[in-house]
Amino acid sequence: MKAVAIAYPSREVRVIDAPEPRLHSPTEVRVRTLEVGVCGTDKDILQGLHGAPPPGESHLVLGHECLGQVVEVGAHVRDFRPGDLVVPRVRRPCPHAHCPACCYEHPDFCVTGDYTERGIQGAHGFCAEFFVEDMMYLHRAEDSLRDVAVLTEPLTIAEKALREAARIQARLPYKQAPGNAVVLGAGPVGQLGAMALMGLGYATTVYSRSPPPNVKASAAEAVGAPYLSSQQVTVEELKAKAGPVDVIYEATGSSTVAFDTLRALGPNGVLIFTGVPGRKEHLHLAGEEVLRQLVLWNQVVLGTVNAGSEDFTRALENLERFRARWPGGLERLITARHPPEAFSQVVEGRLGGIKHVISFQEAAR
């Protein structure tokens, strides 16, 4: 079967002929891959900043944002049947009995770092014509989400982050209604994060680099999120325009931008880091001012990575809600679909737009 893989140690990306996977357990499901999203993590893998092949192998099949269709189920599988659309989770538990997170099936909070991630760390991904997965790591997507369900995994980042933020804000001695939020970055994670925040009732502003008009600004404004450019609007001006900011949702991977925008965070606010820096930055941090602000205003800085089962379930539910509230809003995020042979070109990020997707269905036509 056709698969997109990175070879080690050369880090050359190419389409290979891989063995078609078969069921080896009664709880496994064989899935035909329909679409795979390409993101900054894939670029980091190609650049050697992240990622590793399975033990003993010299290549890694890429792809971790996936939508597929069930073609075969094991004898013990009851919740899935051929024809179902499914989205797989990415991370798998570490093997250590002393890791409480993995023992309780929450590898997104793994304490050892020895987890595996399909298409990223130590396990082949989904950018292949077929894959096999245990039923416990699959989530069924409604047929109505066929054109947008590939966005599920990027949305789970926001689902987990906002779930954690809600628990943190439960510390307040009063019930806090959703207030103002700022999203840093207007890529897929930022756009979906803005929708998630608005879905919770936050008045949300997207703060990104490129001045409007541009496709990202148009996508944000189409769902009711004002778009401001950091090249045109200073952090102080952002603070004045957005009002007291209760949540800053960072989706840029830029430490400079994130810590600079911290100045806009209001009393009792939460700054959520979701981006992993892909480049070196020289950060000049006014440490005394930052500590003074965090302490005097009871602020919290939260880092979050990956997502759990409940986040995938919630993301699929919210995709349905987003489509009903903002018709065409999700579709607008997907700039183009490409054949597997275009993976290298797509991951280099020279095509512009918001989200690029590898389509195996289109390739088969």
**Same domain membership, residue 352 and residue 257:** no
Residue 53 has φ and ψ, to the nearest 5°, of -75, 170
**Same domain membership, residue 280 and residue 197:** yes
In the structure, what pLDDT confidence band is assigned to residue 278 with cuts at 50, 70 and 90?
low
Task: Classify strands 203-208 and 227-229 as parallel, antiparallel or unpaired.
Answer: parallel
Query: Which helix (H) or strand (E) covers residue 345, if one does?
Result: helix 343-347
In the structure, what pLDDT confidence band is assigned to residue 279 with cuts at 50, 70 and 90?
low
Cα–Cα distance, 98 to 102 (Å, whole number): 9
User: Does residue 142 sit in helix, strand or coil?
Assistant: coil
**Same domain membership, residue 225 and residue 98:** no
Domain of 67, in residue numbers: 2-141+328-364
At 165, list the tokens: 């933020």
**Same domain membership, residue 113 and residue 49:** yes
**Same domain membership, residue 123 and residue 77:** yes
Cα–Cα distance, 107 to 177 (Å, whole number): 31
Distance of CA 235 to the CA centre of its chain: 26
At 280, list the tokens: 């070196």
pLDDT at 364 over 50: no
pLDDT tens sequence across 336-350: 999 999 999 999 877
In the structure, what pLDDT confidence band is assigned to residue 149 with cuts at 50, 70 and 90?
very high
| For helices 152-169 and 188-199, angle between their N-to-C axes, nearest 10 degrees | 50
Structure confidence at residue 363 (pLDDT): 44
Whether the CB-CB separation of 155 and 315 falls below 8 Å is answered with yes
Query: Is the residue at 321 inside a domain?
Result: no
Angle ∠(87,56,94) on CA atoms, nearest 5: 50
**Same domain membership, residue 295 and residue 172:** yes
At 77, list the tokens: 């599988």
pLDDT tens sequence across 223-259: 999 999 999 999 999 999 999 999 999 999 788 888 9
Structure confidence at residue 348 (pLDDT): 85
Which residues have a Cβ under 8 Å from the Cβ of 285 and sit 6 or more positions away?
259
* Percentage above 70 pLDDT, the chain: 98
**Same domain membership, residue 340 and residue 297:** no
Mean pLDDT (whole number) for 65-83: 98
Q: How many domains does the chain have?
A: 2
Task: Classify strands 85-88 and 138-141 as parallel, antiparallel or unpaired.
Answer: antiparallel
Q: What is the DSSP string of 57-101?
A: -SEEE---EEEEEEEEE-TT--S--TT-EEEE--EE--S-TT-HH
Query: Is the residue at 65 inside a domain?
Result: yes
pLDDT at 48 over 50: yes
Structure confidence at residue 277 (pLDDT): 74
Which CATH number covers residue 77?
Answer: 3.90.180.10
Structure confidence at residue 257 (pLDDT): 87
Q: Which residues of 194-233 are buried (b: 16+ CB within 10 A; e: fewer)?
A: bbbbbbeebbbbbbbeeebebbbbebbeebebebbbbeeb
At 8, list the tokens: 């080690």
pLDDT tens sequence across 292-320: 999 999 999 999 999 999 999 999 999 99
**Same domain membership, residue 295 and residue 164:** yes
Using CA atoms, how far residue 212 sits from 218, 250, 260, in Å, is 8, 20, 21
**Same domain membership, residue 160 and residue 136:** no
**Same domain membership, residue 187 and residue 83:** no
Query: Is the residue at 210 inside a domain?
Result: yes
At 10, list the tokens: 């050369």
Cα–Cα distance, 164 to 169 (Å, whole number): 9
